[in-house]
Chain A
Amino acid sequence: MAATFELNDDSVVVVIGSGAGGGTLSNELAQKGVKVVLLEAGGRHEIEDFSNDEWGMFGQISWLDKRTTSGSWRVAKDFSGLPAWIVKAVGGSTVHWAGASLRFQEHEFKVKSIYGDIPGANLLDWPISLAEMEPYYDRAEDKLGVTGTHGIPRLPGSNNFRVFAAGAKKLGYKDFHTGNMAINSQPRDGRGACQQIGFCFQGCKSGAKWSTLYTEIPKGEATGNLEVRPSSQALQIQHNAAGKVTGVLYADKDGKQHVQKARVVAVAGNSIESPRLLLNSASAKFPDGLANSSGQVGKNYMRHMTGSVYAIFDKPVRMYRGTTMAGIIKDEAGNKPERGFVGGYEMETLSLGVPFMAAFLEPGAWGRDFASAMEGYANMAGMWLVGEDMPQEKNAITLHRAEKDQYGLPVPNVHFDDHANDIAMREHAYKQGSAVYEAVGAVRTFRTPPYPSTHNLGTNRMSEKASDGVVNKHGQTHDIANLFISDGSQFTTGAAENPTLTIVALAIRQAEYIAERMAKNEI
């Protein structure tokens, strides 16, 4: 049975955000007998509430609170009020995610040592290695039921994949398949197999795709150690004179404010809200915000080098039939500086429905040329390009000077400029992506610019030294022993891979650490 805890119960761990990081951490702690209150800003919408409706689902559960943008990135022009596509609901962005679940490569944990000094890039090695992460990757893959790992068969290839794979083969690529997906290819863990519905971004109606909403969270609740409070947005983390955090001020669905006392606080609001919350929690003792002695809170915002290639053929493809992202070419993922940039990128199949295609294919475009592209929709194939981007200190989440949200708190501004390395990589990726489709007869290809960021990373980064970053190798803030960061904002650098498997692996590892320290009364 789901637990309920008193507001003044100061023995609980308060987790903020119920997505990949916070949802996993909450369950892992609850399984170990630790009492958890999980505060989630969004509502609780179960599978029955999902619909195969792109704009409908977007409007229902996206984080649409006011945000501003700046910088030379194209998103600031195309989607100035929507820098990121993040879910505000129980389950967080794991409700909308596509399920691509990849491990980082060994070198991606130590890029400063390997890439050297790149002008303008604030590179740093992670304080952990792939070898240390491997057992946790194993557990994360098992938890998510990742295809192509642990003897779980891969998904069958859809039309969109078959075009992609045929092009890859023609081009001489070797390492391509239907991916490592957190989508059941056969029934597993009480959930059925993928029905190839094709609306993975709208919430999986069959539950085949892993989401904390219907895995971690109910499992945690079943222990009797976890209370989930939906529609409860954390506004401020409070601390005592000794500099330990003591509780979280939050607003309930009616806007009424409460303080939940806490023994430990773990922040997992994704990489825009997590640093914003630390900055908005500034006090006389911590005038620059909590855990910010390094000055790195909110800095080094990464969003992956991204872009898409769509191609029109003279015969039908019907890419929308089947999983949204089950297809990958990995040949470009390694670090091969001879291509003119450091780091690498993945090519992953991607399909959008007509409503989203119209908005995203070429944002702002209209006229005959655009209309004729839409008329080619049934004959279209598509892929997403995702690669390592360079952390830059000036790319940052900051508090807006004038704009306030519904609680009177400063809204976040998201500043981003592409690094020269990002631009060179994108150019290469567009060229290769187009070549894949041209190899099998594409009559027209499109270089689609980045969507609002789905991979938001790095704004509370992990570092060996307290002066270089915000958290240590366990996600524990360098400054405050009982304050943790449990989402992708911990990432020291971004790697080429989709981030969620790593977020989950870090959360599993962090839960062990927190439970151990609590047992030893060290926090």
Chain B
Amino acid sequence: MSKSVMGRRAFLATTSGAIVLVAGGNLVIGGNGAWAMSTKALTGDEAAMLVRMARATYPHAMLDDTIYGKVIHGLDEKAASDPALLRSLQEGAATLKDKKFETLDEAGQEAVLKAIESSAPFQTVRGECVVGIYNNPDVWKVLGYEGPSAELGGYIDRGFDDIDWLQDA
């Protein structure tokens, strides 16, 4: 993802989960045009399909497609120098294309993924996502996790015991 397009602008355009991915050549563009990524190894269509797969694997309506796009972007970079990984990702994208994945609702998508749960392509994308999504500070903000605290002096004066709804506390 080129920095200029993938930067802060992407996050200003907070959207719902219902993003239409537009792909073509080696370019994937978010439906609202707020972000784009160019791929090295995958085609734009393949990458767009994998972004959908990433979202369906860890579906958070509150997260922008950028978050999922970043993870697939990372996989694409690795696949550029790893032919076995590239084949696996292509295979995964092709399977989803056959199932018309982009036309299914969330439950339908989950069922398709359930059927390929133990396959290498799914496990590769899942493994990358579980770190790529949840180790992303932009996601922490959305989930209400404050991240590193040492620089801020810890929580000793910043609410380590501020719970106010416990009857017995």
> Chain A: residues with CB nearer than 8 A to chain B?
51-55, 156-159, 162-163, 165-166, 169-170, 194-199, 205-206, 315-318, 320-322, 353-355, 357-359, 366-368, 370-371, 374-375, 377-378, 440
Q: Which A-B residue pairs are the 7 nearest by beta carbons?
A: A378-B144, A195-B154, A52-B148, A358-B134, A322-B160, A197-B154, A166-B168
| Closest residue of B by beta carbon distance from A369 | B110
Asked if A196 and B156 make an inter-chain contact with CB atoms under 8 angstroms apart, the answer reads yes
Shortest distance in angstroms between B80's beta carbon and chain A's nearest beta carbon?
A: 23
Asked if B162 and A159 make an inter-chain contact with CB atoms under 8 angstroms apart, the answer reads yes
Stretch of B4-12, B23-31, B37-45, B53-61 contacting A (4+ beta carbons < 8 Å): B53-61
The interface residues of chain B lying within 8 Å CB-to-CB of A368 are 59, 106, 110
Q: How long is the Cα–Cα vector from A322 to B160 in the complex, in angstroms?
A: 5
The verdict on B133 contacting chain A, using a C-beta distance below 8 Å, is yes
The interface residues of chain A lying within 8 Å CB-to-CB of B144 are 316, 318, 377-378
- Judged by DSSP, the binding face of A is loop
The interface residues of chain A lying within 8 Å CB-to-CB of B146 are 318, 320-321
10 A-B residue contacts at CB 8 Å?
Answer: A53-B148, A159-B160, A159-B162, A162-B166, A166-B166, A195-B150, A195-B156, A198-B160, A371-B60, A440-B167
Task: Give the contacting residue for A353; candidates B114, B145, B161; CB below 8 A.
Answer: B145
Asked if A375 and B143 make an inter-chain contact with CB atoms under 8 angstroms apart, the answer reads yes
The interface residues of chain A lying within 8 Å CB-to-CB of B167 are 166, 440
Q: How long is the Cα–Cα vector from A162 to B154 in the complex, in angstroms?
A: 18
Task: Give the contacting residue for A156; candidates B149, B159, B161; CB below 8 A.
Answer: B161
Q: How long is the Cα–Cα vector from A198 to B114 in the complex, in angstroms?
A: 36
Q: How long is the Cα–Cα vector from A54 to B105 in the complex, in angstroms?
A: 35
> Chain B: residues with CB nearer than 8 A to chain A?
57-60, 62, 106, 110, 113-114, 126, 130-131, 133-135, 139-140, 143-151, 153-156, 158-163, 165-169
Shortest distance in angstroms between B136's beta carbon and chain A's nearest beta carbon?
A: 9
Q: Which of A157, A197, A353 has the most CB of B within 10 A?
A: A197
Asked if B148 and A169 make an inter-chain contact with CB atoms under 8 angstroms apart, the answer reads no
Shortest distance in angstroms between A496's beta carbon and chain B's nearest beta carbon?
A: 26
The interface residues of chain B lying within 8 Å CB-to-CB of A51 are 148
Given contacts A316-B144, A354-B145, A377-B143, contact A163 B163 (CB under 8 A): yes
Q: How long is the Cα–Cα vector from A196 to B155 in the complex, in angstroms?
A: 5
The interface residues of chain A lying within 8 Å CB-to-CB of B161 are 156-159, 162, 322
Asked if B163 and A317 make an inter-chain contact with CB atoms under 8 angstroms apart, the answer reads yes
Asked if A159 and B163 make an inter-chain contact with CB atoms under 8 angstroms apart, the answer reads yes
| Closest residue of A by beta carbon distance from B164 | A315
Given contacts A197-B150, A367-B59, contact A321 B160 (CB under 8 A): yes
Given contacts A166-B168, A197-B155, A199-B150, contact A367 B57 (CB under 8 A): yes
Asked if A322 and B155 make an inter-chain contact with CB atoms under 8 angstroms apart, the answer reads yes
The interface residues of chain A lying within 8 Å CB-to-CB of B147 are 52, 353
Task: Give the contacting residue for A354; candidates B57, B58, B140, B154; CB below 8 A.
Answer: B140
The interface residues of chain A lying within 8 Å CB-to-CB of B168 are 165-166, 169-170, 440
Given contacts A159-B163, A197-B150, A367-B59, contact A357 B169 (CB under 8 A): no
Asked if B131 and A355 make an inter-chain contact with CB atoms under 8 angstroms apart, the answer reads yes
Q: How long is the Cα–Cα vector from A440 to B147 in the complex, in angstroms?
A: 27
| Closest residue of B by beta carbon distance from A193 | B156
Q: How long is the Cα–Cα vector from A322 to B151 in the complex, in angstroms?
A: 14
Q: How long is the Cα–Cα vector from A316 to B150 in the complex, in angstroms?
A: 22
Shortest distance in angstroms between B154's beta carbon and chain A's nearest beta carbon?
A: 3
Asked if A366 and B163 make an inter-chain contact with CB atoms under 8 angstroms apart, the answer reads no
Q: How long is the Cα–Cα vector from A368 to B17 in the complex, in angstroms?
A: 13
Given contacts A52-B149, A162-B169, contact A206 B154 (CB under 8 A): yes
| Closest residue of A by beta carbon distance from B110 | A367
Q: How long is the Cα–Cα vector from A366 to B162 in the complex, in angstroms?
A: 32
Asked if A318 and B159 make an inter-chain contact with CB atoms under 8 angstroms apart, the answer reads yes
Asked if A199 and B133 make an inter-chain contact with CB atoms under 8 angstroms apart, the answer reads no
Asked if B169 and A166 make an inter-chain contact with CB atoms under 8 angstroms apart, the answer reads yes
The interface residues of chain B lying within 8 Å CB-to-CB of A194 are 154, 156
Asked if A358 and B130 make an inter-chain contact with CB atoms under 8 angstroms apart, the answer reads yes
Shortest distance in angstroms between A130's beta carbon and chain B's nearest beta carbon?
A: 34
| Closest residue of B by beta carbon distance from A161 | B161
The interface residues of chain A lying within 8 Å CB-to-CB of B151 are 52
Task: Give the contacting residue for A315; candidates B113, B126, B160, B165; CB below 8 A.
Answer: B165
Asked if A375 and B62 make an inter-chain contact with CB atoms under 8 angstroms apart, the answer reads yes
| Closest residue of B by beta carbon distance from A355 | B135
Asked if A320 and B145 make an inter-chain contact with CB atoms under 8 angstroms apart, the answer reads yes
Supply 7 further A-B pairs (C-beta < 8 A) apart from A358-B134, A375-B60.
A52-B148, A55-B131, A197-B149, A321-B158, A322-B155, A359-B131, A374-B143
